[in-house]
Structure 1
Amino acid sequence: MSAAAERLRAAGCVFAEDEARLIAAAVRTPRDLRALVERRASGLPLEHVVGWAGFHGLRILVDPGVFVPRRRTEFLVERAVAASGDRPVVVDLCCGSGALGAALAAARPGTELHAADVDPAAVRCARRNVEPVGGRIHQGDLYAALPASLRGRVDVLLANVPYVPTGDIAVLPTEAREHEARVALDGGADGLAVLRRVSAQAPAWLAPGGRLFVEASDRQVDRALAIVRADGLEAEAATSEEYAATVIIATRPNHRAR
């Protein structure tokens, strides 16, 4: 085992050899390797150490402090891609690194993509992932960040909102709790505070037949469905054992506008 892998193993990294190889590929000198290994050993997420995360077949750039896209969220993207027609209008709210929007745009050439986040660090990071696939990035609080011209035109609304209840933040893995922005994790008292805000305005931004895709935990499904249905959307939940993921899919009816 290499010295880098030994150091990572001693720090508790389960996949020490794999991580050591990834870190080695990101540096030019042994000194840089030792520095990055120490950053990882101190608890910094691997993606923040090497500067990227693998997501839906893409290499997504990830800056320190920015939410790292999870593999489980690939299920949300797969469902959104399957529901997208040609040249869809797509909005990625709470975009973080912009991974969801970038992945959908890569799978659907001709997508009109807009991504938005309230965190300036996330916006800076997302710009590097969204603009290369032809997307535009906006900074602001949810829909307030978006151009008014998108109202009633959005075919696919991706909203990987924070859904961890405030009381559960303290028991999250250290990598998330200490190295990702609180605004990207904290979903309020029941974890559904941001979903409520997204859902309330979704009918005004979605095109007739447009869909909202939101990730949720298993224990939140019934309440999440009730929230979006109360806002006039038709909703269902999709689950994946492979990804250990649950996605709420809410559709604006073709016959109804709000």
Structure 2
Amino acid sequence: MLRHPAAPRVVAALRAAGCVFAEEEAGLLLAAARDPAELDTLVARRAAGQPLEHVVGWAGFGGLRVVVDEGVFVPRRRTEFLVERATALVRGRARPLVVDLCCGTGALGAALVTALGGEADLHAADIDPAAVRCARRNVAPLGGLVHEGDLFDALPPALRGRVDVLLANVPYVPTAEVALLPAEARVHEALVALDGGADGLDVLRRVAGEAGRWLAPGGSLLFETSSGQAPAAARIAEASGGLGARVETCEERYATVVVASRHPRPGRAPHGDGAPHGPRD
């Protein structure tokens, strides 16, 4: 029960705008506003359809409060599953090298490094300057670096062949389906973070084709996709990247992740949980 004197009118305004979780959102807006005038502005922005995370300036992800600037892709809670799988792969490894490609806010890399107790080296990259500025606010406190540029072109060449875990939250919405996305996404998030080309897998093809040259022996590429795209995505990782791929799912969060690993050198044990390579549903 919200006890703030402005709560009833805020809840009413949000309900009238169609916000399903009006009371919960009202609590966040009330906490974010420094005075009544700012509260009115925040409520008006949310009622007009702006994502709540853009309005309050942050999102909860992986136990962190991640800064989210206007126009930047909002990290989805389902993507926490990807971070959990990455954590399982490298936990216990001495200071792994982590790269967060197509990083957006940098939430994935930040959450992974935090889960590892800060004992990791983090680089992140995005082609969108707004995302890079935002990611630096989330990654810098962890000692990470954020680079601006197109996929691997943004990364320091010295990282080639050394990456233990490559997180790539590539866009995977087919171009023809972008118009079907909720307005919060298609209007308020950068198109480059959503549109994955004709079949939704164009950016993935580029990432998978180069990933093997950047991964350390036994290193892994992890990316999210839809359940329907997963078989084709796994085949792309194997065919174009020469990686052993498997599909992992979390029904509770409707999350599908492909884990594609570079085989370790002969005689060297694989990192992480030692799960077998090869596609599986």
Q: Find the counterpart in structure 2 of residue 47 from structure 1.
A: 53
Considering only aligned residues, what root-mean-square deviation do their CA atoms show, in Å? 0.8
Supply the distance in 2 between the matched residues of 1:86 and 1:41 (Cα, whole angstroms): 48
Residues 182-191 or 22-31, more deviating: 22-31
* Aligned equivalent of 2:69, options 52, 63, 70: 63
State the identity %.
65
Q: Does 1:219 align with 2:225?
A: no
Q: How does 1:1-258 map to 2 (within 5 A)?
A: 2-84=8-90, 85-108=93-116, 109-230=118-239, 231-255=241-265
Structure 2 segments unaligned to the other structure (5+ residues): 1-6, 267-281
Supply the distance in 2 between the matched residues of 1:198 and 1:120 (Cα, whole angstroms): 20
AA of the residue aligned to 1:232: G
Supply the distance in 1 between the matched residues of 2:94 and 2:16 (Cα, whole angstroms): 50
Give the match's secondary structure for 1:224. helix
Give the match's secondary structure for 2:55. helix
**Cα shift readout 1:26-81 (whole Å, capped 9, x = no counterpart):** 11111110110000000000000000000010000000000000000000000001
Supply the distance in 2 between the matched residues of 1:86 and 1:73 (Cα, whole angstroms): 25
Number of corresponding residues: 256
Supply the distance in 2 between the matched residues of 1:86 and 1:48 (Cα, whole angstroms): 36
**Moved >3 Å (runs of 4+):** none
- Give the drift of 1:87: 1.0
Supply the distance in 1 between the matched residues of 2:146 and 2:184 (Cα, whole angstroms): 26
Supply the distance in 2 between the matched residues of 1:92 and 1:20 (Cα, whole angstroms): 33
AA of the residue aligned to 1:225: A
